[in-house]
A and B are shown apart, each in its own frame.
Chain A
Amino acid sequence: GENVEQHPSTLSVQEGDSAVIKCTYSDSASNYFPWYKQELGKRPQLIIDIRSNVGEKKDQRIAVTLNKTAKHFSLHITETQPEDSAVYFCAASVRSGGGADGLTFGKGTHLIIQP
């Protein structure tokens, strides 16, 4: 099955600086890559996603890049703000052995924005 590796596990940046989180995936058939933000005690919230036919996507301060050849994708957050502090998960679409089309998640990155 699919395996998604995510780094770093913890990232601390100064407010206003940029943050980059990186993920790699194993299944070359994966074609959909979302990013979720999860604050403590809350649901995962979709913040941006990208498909395998696109190399880059941007939404205000957030951007995602995808390198299909290398099987890695990254989340970039610019001009970080205190409210960006949360756990961020990358994910890849996958077919399980039973034919399910769910998501395989990376282990998460705890992003800490220092004031």
Chain B
Amino acid sequence: DTEVTQTPKHLVMGMTNKKSLKCEQHMGHRAMYWYKQKAKKPPELMFVYSYEKLSINESVPSRFSPECPNSSLLNLHLHALQPEDSALYLCASSQVRYMAQYFGPGTRLLVL
């Protein structure tokens, strides 16, 4: 089963709000990822959580903060976002690093 789930499907938030995106996989994968995808663009890597170690794409602003409560969950906490952060946020997982990544359906975020 190559199922990655994400909640919520849609989110509208103001620039002063704090919200969280959730991602879950039950495939026993050891690596999970957050990507950001703008319209008509490819996904861009934000974070990797692999073997209990977090790796960060240095270009990602600090208003995004990931959290991994356990090996099957990966959250993305959002705070003081800007309108340009509006995008589709995709979670993915893979068995280990350098293996096939499977994407969740994404959370479509709109920042007003």
A binds B: yes
Which residues of chain A have a CB within 8 Å of any CB of chain B?
31-32, 34, 36, 42-46, 49, 89, 91, 93-94, 96-108
Contact between chains at A99 and B55 (CB < 8 Å)? yes
Are A44 and B31 in contact (CB-based, < 8 A)? no
CA–CA, A43 to B102, complex, Å?
A: 9
Count the A-B residue pairs with Cβ separation under 8 angstroms: how many?
Answer: 70
- Of B43, B47, B98, which one neighbours A100 at CB under 8 angstroms? B47
If the complex has contacts A100-B47, A100-B48, are A44 and B57 also in contact, measured as CB distance less than 8 A?
no
Binding site for A on B (CB under 8 A): 31, 33, 35, 40-45, 47-48, 50, 53, 55-58, 90, 97-106
In angstroms, Cα B55 to Cα A2, docked, is: 16
A90 CB to nearest chain B CB (Å)? 9
Are B104 and A43 in contact, CB atoms less than 8 angstroms apart?
A: yes
- Give the distance in Å from the alpha carbon of A59 to the alpha carbon of B22 in the complex: 33
A49 touches B55 (CB 8 A): no
Which one of A31, A49, A102 lies within 8 Å of B57 (CB-CB)? A102
